[in-house]
Structure formats: structure tokens, C-alpha cells
Amino acid sequence: MAVRKPPITTREYWAPGHAACAGCGCATALKLATKAFSEAMEEKYGDPDAFAIAQATGCMEVVSAVFPYTAWKVPWVHVAFENAAAAASGIEAAWKKKGLKGKILAIGGDGGTADIGLQALSGMLERRHNVVYLMYDNEAYMNTGIQRSSSTPYGAWTTTSPPGKYSIGEDKPKKWVALIAAAHQIPYVATASIGNPFDFVRKMKKAAKVDGPAFVQVHCTCPTGWKSPLEKGVEIARLAIETGVWPLFEIENGDFHNIKIQSPGGGAKVKREGGKIVAIEFKKPIEEYLKLQGRFKHLFKQPEAIDQLREQIKAMWKVLGVEVTLPKPEE
């Protein structure tokens, strides 16, 4: 009888038994990322284990390395909140001197990457270390109890961006770190999502195989911080793609003229010119994404705030070179 090959390695590097919340989308992201890395290392160096992790302080750090236990079956170093990229630089340099083959994976959440760790990230990318930096973006400081980060989207409730009489929640547009990373003209930058795991794995493998630095920003859900149903994480992440909230793209060598945009699915109508996506007409309104999450609940009483978010999403797509149409829900 023919046995079908599993779509991804059955090797585990992020072992069961970690202390992440039920339904944690970021745990899924790390599981997939390490599996992808392992496959890439096997293909590139003939050794699936030829990698190590430097991780920033954050929820995925504290849940995975509670002394005297560890969820990591790969060499793993945590130093502090803002310096995963710098610590990874040091490990990579040491490996070079030791003649060890392989790649370092640096991992940080959006707080440890978009905010406090941005400088160390920039330094690491600019110095061209052979490191993949994976930013798991759950759009707030979830480790400390859901405070806003610069990656928190417009309108979202967090404990430090509460909606109130004079507030609609977070009042600044989301910072797009992938674009900042790409400005370093590094070999590879991508956005990904746990809502499209095959695409995420492909991108992680690609990132792991390039020579030099790469940056991947993966959108992952946080049922605790997003006040969303435990079992709907992947569905919500997929809706972010299908409604235009989360663009999937790749930028190689900082070439902003050749951003590889991916079709979002969900019935969206895609217009291409010379093979490049230039316009997308989304069919699903962003409300479909927002309504599954308690963090956006208050926006439904202020539809003008949702319109404002729509405008910001359009502006962000414009930076990517794509005109988008975002529908309003049918009355």
C-alpha cells in the first residue's frame, strides 16, 4: 500500500508540553517555523539539525523555557527583550570561528521587534549576519498582559489603548516592520500567516536557505489578547488575508519595484499587468475579520472608525504598489 509522505517533516523541535495558552497561534507558527528550518537545513547542509535559536523575551520565550524544563530540542539561547538579533549575531560569529555549518534563527514578538528591538534588528541586518529573523506578530505585548505595541492595528483594544469617551482604541496605524527590514536591501523579506501554513513553510525554507540575513513577519493569532474563540485562530488569520488586512508578499534584495504580492483568495478579483498584481478587488469586507475578535467589538458602534481603518489598509497596499477596493458589508 502506498503511504503518503507527510507534507512537512515529522521531526519536532518545539516539543509538546510547553505552557502556551490553548489555541495559541504563535505556538503553531514556531512549530511550523522550526520544522521548515529543519527541512531547509537538511536540503542545504544535509543535516536537519544544523540550526540554533536566539529568542527575545516574550510569551513564546517564557512558555517554552521554564527552568528546569525546556520545550526546545534545538540549541536555544534567550538573553533579553530587545537583543535577540544582537545575540544571534554573536552566536553566528562564534559558529563561523568554530567552523560549524548551519543557520541561526532569531525569534521575537512584535514588541521585541517593532519597538524595543528595532535597533538591534537593524544592526544585525545591516551587518549581513547569516541569520533569519522571525517576527511573530500577535499585535500587542501579550506577555505582559495585552498592552499596545507599534504593531497593534488601528482601532484595536488593548489595556493601554482602551476605547473610551475620547478614544476609539489604538489611534495610530500599524507599523510595517517587514518594509523597514526590506529597506536594508537584505536578500529576503516576507510576510506570512498561520492562515496559510504551506505558504509560511515555503517562505521560512526560502529564508533559511539564502546566504545572509532574512526577515519573516508572521501574523499569528492570540485568543487571549484578541478575545477570540480558541478554535478559530487559523480561520481568523485566513480572514485577515482574504479581507486585505494582512498582505502576503516577498521582497528580495530590497527591490521595492518587484514586490511579489500573493493572491489573497476569498473570492478577491486580482488584476495583473505584466504578471504583477496591480489591483485587488476584495470581496469579503474587513468586518468579517473584525467581528470574530473582542478587541474590535467597540468599533461596530463607530463605523467611521472602521472606514478609517479601511483607508489605512488601502494606503498600506499602495506602498506595496497595489490599488485595492475594500467593500463595506451589505446592509
Partner 1 sequence: MPIRTVMKANEAAAWAAKLAKPKVIAAFPITPSTLVPEKISEFVANGELDAEFIKVESEHSAISACVGASAAGVRTFTATASQGLALMHEVLFIAAGMRLPIVMAIGNRSLSAPINIWNDWQDSISERDTGWLQFYAENNQEALDLILIAFKVAEDERVLLPAMVGFDAFILTHTVEPVEIPDQELVDEFLGEYEGKHAYVDPKRPITQGTLAFPAHYMEARYKVWEANENARKVIDEVFAEFEKKFGRKYSKIEEYRTDDAEIIFVTMGSLAGTVKEYVDKLREKGIKAGAAKLTVYRPFPIEEVRALAKKAKVIALLEKNVTFSVGGALFQDFSRTLVNEKEKPILVDFILGLGGRDVTFKDLDEALAIAQKALAGEEFDEVNWIGLRKEIL
Selected range binding partner 1 among 116-124, 146-154, 176-184, 249-257, rule: CB under 8 A: 116-124
Helix, strand, or coil (residue 258):
helix
| Least distance CB 52 / partner 1 (angstroms) | 5
Selected range binding partner 1 among 62-70, 191-199, 257-265, 278-286, rule: CB under 8 A: 62-70
66 binds partner 1 (CB under 8 A): yes
183 binds partner 1 (CB under 8 A): no
Distances (CA, A) of 51 to 128, 152, 308: 17, 31, 43
Choice from 22, 70, 267, 328 touching partner 1 (CB under 8 A)? 70
141 binds partner 1 (CB under 8 A): no
Question: Per CB under 8 A, which of residues 86..105 are in contact with partner 1?
Answer: 86-98, 100, 102
77 binds partner 1 (CB under 8 A): yes
- Residue position matching grid coordinates 505582559: 144
Choice from 50, 107, 234, 239 touching partner 1 (CB under 8 A)? 50
Burial (CB < 10 A; 0-12, 13-18, 19+), residue 212, is: middle
Distances (CA, A) of 168 to 75, 149, 211, 264, 298: 44, 16, 44, 28, 8
CB 5 within 8 A of CB 38: no
Cβ closest to partner 1, residue 42 vs residue 199 = 42
The three three-digit cell numbers of residue 78, written as one number: 534567550
| Least distance CB 111 / partner 1 (angstroms) | 16
62 binds partner 1 (CB under 8 A): yes
**Sign of torsion over alpha carbons 106, 18, 59, 157:** positive
Selected range binding partner 1 among 63-71, 189-197, 239-247, 317-325, rule: CB under 8 A: 63-71
| Least distance CB 87 / partner 1 (angstroms) | 4
Selected range binding partner 1 among 66-74, 217-225, 235-243, 248-256, rule: CB under 8 A: 66-74
Choice from 26, 32, 40, 52 touching partner 1 (CB under 8 A)? 52
282 binds partner 1 (CB under 8 A): no
Q: Give a three-class secondary structure readout of 94-126.
A: HHHHHCCCCEEEEEEEHHHHHHCCHHHHHHHHH
126 binds partner 1 (CB under 8 A): yes
CB 172 within 8 A of CB 220: no
CB 207 within 8 A of CB 214: yes
Choice from 49, 199, 281, 288 touching partner 1 (CB under 8 A)? 49
Q: Considering only CA atoms, which of 64, 123, 59 is closest in space to residue 90?
A: 123
Choice from 51, 157, 176, 282 touching partner 1 (CB under 8 A)? 51
CB 190 within 8 A of CB 218: no
Host H or E run for residue 58: none
- Residue position matching grid coordinates 499587468: 273
75 binds partner 1 (CB under 8 A): yes
Cβ closest to partner 1, residue 67 vs residue 166 = 67
Residue type, position 96, single letter: K
| Least distance CB 216 / partner 1 (angstroms) | 20
- Interface ranges with partner 1 (CB under 8 A): 47, 49-52, 54, 61-62, 65-68, 70, 72-80, 82-83, 85-98, 100, 102, 119-120, 122-124, 126-127
